[in-house]
Structure 1
């Protein structure tokens, strides 16, 4: 069976990391599956890919901090680049002939670049199943409903998609209700829970040895995800290290991952500031973040979906400082899981070296939160179940179609011979 996965990836690493985790699990659970991933992520080649998965890299687009889409590397305008991406996606569908297309977040893709492919599949490969994957929170209800109305997303999901899978819980955010899904779409929608991240490739003991952390030291991991807008978080953390020294309660060792999408000048500035703190190790990126989260005593992070899932999977105390523009997604997620007692949150407008250091000190002092909810982290097996069902249904219909067609062709052949 052939699965084609679309992930537009115009900002950060979140979408591609989530889709790779899903693809890897599907390959482990569904026999004889081949997956072709279509992505615009500039970091796709930096991840280890499992057997059975290959990809087509689209020219990069960038959403930026204000939400305006631009071309990241090529000297072409946006419309020209979107047309190129659209043609590549369509060509892939025509030649790969997927049994199922899984689309991340946008029913028609970024700037509607998926529209031609969806119409082609509907007209020429009607047996192909379509699945829309939505994270727990897209943006504010007002902004999301307006976008779905103006882009005809409600109509697209009703007409073309067989199922909508939400990697979240209605107890955290009720997507169907908040985003005003019509009854037809609500009936297609299944909440899968959050994605549990599997353990990293290295043990916590090995990581702490690698970082030369003694038994009396505490390790704080700082990660702003892709890092494109992570400069202020890291800069504030470094400024708060003096507060730790004055307190003298803990010996702190810090590992800071700037993120591969932070601009070179800002990364250079942070590395230079970190030179003043010998107990800080600066790195750009790791494709094994779970190993470092598992080894940490506390985590400082932004509020991206994947990072939150990793922190909660590892059950680590964390202070979340979410992004609040151009989308409110991270802010909404962090506020909700904070109210549910799953992490601490500092609104970025109130982020100072002292507030961040105090939050971490309380967590290192085992001032642990009491969760008000048991978070469901079983999204991956549920996604595999739903995808397996659709592929099985498609295979059965294909066999019926083949038998019917073969019988018809045989009858025609007999008639011609007579």
Structure 2
């Protein structure tokens, strides 16, 4: 499995849910997840699943890429990542490669690997994507510039859409060409409640360690945290209803100075807790009475799965 993971944590969580589900199926599978999130090794993972973390990319709100950590140019970083990906898959020899969201990977970094796998002829390639990508005009512009449909024609055997065409049909809305549309299969929405099955044996309840007083729970989630500082600080400053506890998940990419301010505020409020990161936040989400979030696609899917509001 591959995900560029250049912004937020939603793509990584979706890939992990798929890997967890496959690992607990009747089929004996070994799964390698290639990810751009260095913190991936701390997430809950079942036996037979492991991570390969790439040097991290960052995507800003304008859609521009640069290096998250290494002091190198974008081209140098993409070249490095592309070589790591190809070397890993040459050694791993997968039967199936599931690529998340970007048909050619970030900045085309998958091109050499996809060409190699197609020439080798053993690996079936699947593109997995959510059904709502963006405004149709923006999708048409971005996909045309990236030659994404050409990549799907050349390299992919199937396109899995994690959604329901009765709700939103990307084939119709984005005017996929007939040959690309013929590869599309709809999986339905991924049920995030499945995570609880894996948590029971692989993880622990992060809420129990917070020593909160009795009361209702309001959970604030800001994804990876890189663009969630305003919501996080507004939540921390808000006066919650009586007998109500607040838990704020800051995200590993929130600027350190913002994290420090939030921790200082929480230290003065007995019913507020701030967490930078939890291995599996599904239990927090399940136990929350109310959820306040950035409204990213995958977060919304999780909130709906747990029937929160």
Q: Deviations over 1:252-289 (max 9, x none)?
A: 11111111110101111122233342211111111221
- Residue of structure 2 in register with 1:138 after alignment: 133
What is the aligned partner in structure 2 of residue 234 from structure 1? 232
| Equivalent of 2:44 in 35, 40, 48 | 48
2:187 to 186, 192, 202: 192
Kindly provide the CA deviation profile for residues 358-400 of structure 1, in whole angstroms up to 9, marking residues without a partner as x: xxxxxxxxxxxxxxxxxxxxxxxxxxxxxxxxxxxxxxxxxxx
Specify whether residues 17 and 33 from structure 1 end up closer, same or farther in structure 2 by C-alpha distance, changes over 3 A only.
Answer: same
2-side partners of 1:162 and 1:206: how far apart?
40
| Alignment of 1:180 onto 2:186 | no
Aligned residue in 2 for 1:301: 293
Shift in CA distance, 174/56, structure 1 to aligned 2, threshold 3 Å: same
CA contact (8 A) 2:127 2:158 kept: yes
1:6-405 mapped onto 2 (5 Å cutoff): 6-123=2-119, 125-197=120-192, 198-200=194-196, 201=199, 207=207, 211-214=211-214, 217-241=215-239, 244=240, 250-317=242-309
Residues 325-378 of structure 1: per-residue CA shift (max 9 Å, x gap): xxxxxxxxxxxxxxxxxxxxxxxxxxxxxxxxxxxxxxxxxxxxxxxxxxxxxx
Q: In 2, distance between residues paired with 1:296 and 1:205?
A: 13
Structure 2 unaligned runs (5+)?
A: none
CA apart distance, 1:157: 0.8
Q: How many Å separate the matches in 2 of 1:20 and 1:101?
A: 14
Q: Deviations over 1:160-186 (max 9, x none)?
A: 211100111223322111111111111
Does the 8 Å contact 2:19/2:31 carry over to 1? yes
The answer to whether the 8 A contact 1:205-1:295 is kept is no
Q: 1:81 & 1:299 partners in 2: Cα distance?
A: 37
Tell me the TM-score normalized by structure 1. 0.69
* Number of residue-to-residue matches in the alignment: 304
CA contact (8 A) 1:204 1:295 kept: no
> Structure 2 length normalisation: TM-score?
0.92
Could you tell me how far apart the structure 2 residues matched to 1:76 and 1:206 are?
Answer: 37
The CA distance in 1 between the partners of 2:195 and 2:10, in whole Å, is 18
Q: What secondary structure, in the 3-state scheme, does the structure 1 residue paired with 2:94 have?
A: coil
Per-residue deviation, 1:209:
8.5
Contact 1:204 1:294 in 2 (8 A): no
